[in-house]
Structure 1
């Protein structure tokens, strides 16, 4: 890859715990945020002094859009949280791998203690000919980019 070339955003993989998630169409909402703490003080000369400093890191959510297929591992993980209310066993570490044109992993994004907090099924219509997709919102406690 030449210097200055960007990675393509359509080449990625996602691992949930011990298995690779298939047929993922989109991952959105990858953000790393931090609170901003603002302190206002008055100097000895009476001037207002405003200082900003980093606060606590925020947790986040991502949304995964994928085709509805016969794969059960990802669906079973969603059910563990949404249906069985078994959050202790449902918490998983997720790794999103960004790949270059040769399918080599060039960057990893790790989400710690992730669990499914929302599921949205496909829009169904008698006249539609598009594929059925589902969206799953994943809540996580920490994000690390390497």
Structure 2
């Protein structure tokens, strides 16, 4: 387990960049977290699992007392040819990497 360093908490935030509508559960969690202004100790833990090319779990990262601090939606530029993606910044109290 790694505790978030004291001092400048902005350095320890996690940023997730993903295609729009990849996970409805994650999208709902982002919306709920942004809407509710709870104290840090009331935020749930968030587990992110990275999969290898065979679809097997490769890494599991748990962010304790995770909360969304920023959300940037996908830009709507049809001429760019880039896929739509959103960026979510997540603050946390502790991190566990398996």
Question: TM-score by structure 2 length?
Answer: 0.68
| 5+ long unaligned stretches in structure 2 | none
- Say whether 1:64 aligns with 2:16: yes
User: Which among 30, 54, 60 is matched to residue 108 of structure 1?
Assistant: 60
Pairwise mapping of residues 1-146 of structure 1 onto structure 2 (< 5 A)? 34=5, 60-69=12-21, 71-82=23-34, 84-87=35-38, 91-100=43-52, 102-146=54-98
Task: Evaluate the alpha carbon distance shift between residue 69 and residue 114 of structure 1 in structure 2; reply closer, same or farther with a 3 A threshold.
Answer: same
Higher strand share: 1
**Higher relative CO (CA 8 A, sep ≥ 6), structure 1 or 2?**
2
Q: CA RMSD in A?
A: 3.2
Task: Evaluate the alpha carbon distance shift between residue 69 and residue 139 of structure 1 in structure 2; reply closer, same or farther with a 3 A threshold.
Answer: same
| 5+ long unaligned stretches in structure 1 | 1-30, 36-55
- The number of aligned residues is 93
Q: Do the aligned residues in 2 keep the contact of 1:87 with 1:115 (CA within 8 Å)?
A: no
Question: TM-score by structure 1 length?
Answer: 0.49
Higher helix share: 2
Q: Larger C-alpha radius of gyration, 1 or 2?
A: 1
